[in-house]
Amino acid sequence: MSAATRDPAPARIALVLLAAALAVAVFLLPLAAVLAEALRRGWEPAWSAISDPDSLAAIRLTLLVASISVPVNTVGGVAAAWAIAKCDFAGKRLLTTLIELPFSVSPVISGLVYVLLFGAQGYLGPWLRAQGIEIIFALPGLVLATVFVTFPFVARTLIPLMQEQGREEEEAAATLGAGGWQIFRRVTLPNVKWALLAGVLLCNARAMGEFGAVSVVSGHIRGQTNTMPLHVEILYNEYMFVGAFAVAALLALLGVVTLAAKTLLEMLTSRRIGEHV
C-alpha cells in the first residue's frame, strides 16, 4: 500500500479501537452474559439443570433431529451441486434460486407450511389421522421443519467452489474410463472435502439451534417433542433462569465451536466458506 492510499495513523488507530469496542459490545458481551447468568449461583445448579431428565431428553431429541436432517441435506446438496456445476441443462439459474429460497423465508413460515400440509386442518391432516400417522407435534414434523431451514447450506458452499474448479479433471477421468461414482469419489470429493465439511458443520449448527420453525410444529410436549432451544424457552418462561441460561450456554458453545472449526477450515483452504449464509 502506497502512502497515498494509507490512512493517517491517528485515523487508523481510532477506527481500529472503535471497531474493537463495537465488537466487544455486539459479539462478546452477549456471550459473556449467557455464561454469567448460567453460573450466577455457581457450577452446581447449572450442571444439575443440564443433567435434569427433561434437559437430557431435549439434548437427545436435538441430536436425533440433526442426525436425520443433516444427511438429507448433504445428499441433496451434493447432488444439486454436481448437476449444476458439472453438467449442462437449461434453467440452472432458476434451480439455484429455488435452492436458496429457504434462506429468505421466515423460520416461522418454514414451520407453518408443514402445519398447512399435515396439521389437523391441513390438506393431508384428516387423511393422515385416519391412517394413524402423526407428523405435526411429532418427530417427522420437527425433522421436516429443520430440513427446510437448513436446506441450502451444503449446496451453496459447494456450488461456487465446484463451478470454479471446472470439469477438466472429471472429464479426464471419464476419458480414462472411470464411471460416474468413481469420478465423484476419487476426483471431485478430494477437491471439495473441506468445503463439504464446512457446509455440513454450518448445516448442523443451524439444525441443532433452530428455534422458530420447530417451535411451530413441536407442540412443546416436554420430554417428547422439546428440542434444546425449545427447552430453553420453556425454562425461561417458567422463571428457571439458571436452567434456561445453562442450556443456552451449551448451545452457545456449539455455535462458538462451529465458528472456530469454520475459521480453521477457511485457513486450511485459504478461501471464504459460506459467504453471507
Partner 1 sequence: MSASAAIAPRSARRRQALPGLGLTLGVTFAWLGAIVIVPLAALALKPWELGVAGVVAALAEPRVLAAFRMSFGGALAAALASVPVGLLFAWVITRYRFPGRRVLDALIDLPFALPTAVAGLALTALFASNGWLGAPIEALTGWKVAYTPAGVIVALFFVALPFMVRTVEPVLRDLPLDTEEAAATLGATRLQTIRRVVLPALAPAMLTGFGLGFARAVGEYGSVIFIAGNMPMISEIAPLLIVVKLEQFSYAAAAAIGLAMLVLSFAILLLLNLWQRRLRRGLG
Rounded Cα–Cα distance for residues 60 and 210 (Å): 15
CB of 88 to partner 1, least distance (A): 6
- Interacting positions 166-205 with partner 1 (CB under 8 A): 166-168, 170-171, 174, 179-180, 183-184, 202, 205
In the complex with partner 1, the residue whose CB is nearer, 179 or 190, is 179
Cell of 260: 472456530
Q: Residues 22, 56, 133, 268: which binds partner 1 (CB under 8 A)?
A: 22
Question: Considering only residues 141, 199, 229, 243, which one is a binding residue for partner 1 as defined by CB under 8 A?
Answer: 229
Count of residues engaged in binding partner 1, rule: CB under 8 A: 105
Q: Which of 199, 211, 246, 265 binds partner 1 (CB under 8 A)?
A: 211
- CB 2 to partner 1: min, Å: 6
User: In this structure, are residues 108 and 213 in contact, taking their beta carbons and an 8 Å threshold?
Assistant: yes
Min separation Cβ 252 and partner 1, Å: 5
- Residue among 31, 34, 61 nearest 210 (CA): 61
Provide the CA 252 distance to its chain's centre, in angstroms. 13
Residue 85 φ/ψ, nearest 5 degrees: -90, -30
7 binds partner 1 (CB under 8 A): yes
Shortest separation between residue 73's beta carbon and partner 1, angstroms: 8
151, 156, 195, 199: which one contacts partner 1 (CB under 8 A)?
151
| Grid coordinates given for 20 | 474493537
Binders of partner 1 among 47-76, rule CB under 8 A? 72, 75-76
Q: Which of 111-120 are b and which e, b meaning 16 or more Cβ less than 10 Å from the residue's Cβ? A: bbbbbebbbe
| Stretch 106-125: interaction string toward partner 1, x if CB under 8 A | xxxx--xxxxxx-xxxxx--
Which of these ranges, 49-57, 127-135, 192-200, 254-262, lies near partner 1 under the rule CB under 8 A?
A: 254-262
The C-alpha cell that represents 131 in the structure block: 391412517
* Residues sharing a CB contact under 8 Å with residue 63, sequence separation 6 or more, in sequence order: 208
First to last CA, the chain: 31
**Residue 124, phi then psi, degrees to nearest 5:** -105, 0
Which of these segments, 49-57, 127-135, 142-150, 190-198, binds partner 1 (CB under 8 A)?
142-150
Smallest CA-to-CA distance from 66 within 11, 147, 151 is with 147
The one segment of 44-52, 102-110, 126-134, 191-199 that binds partner 1 by CB under 8 A? 102-110
The nearest distance, CB 47 to partner 1, in angstroms, is: 18
* Rounded Cα distance, 192 and 222, in Å: 41
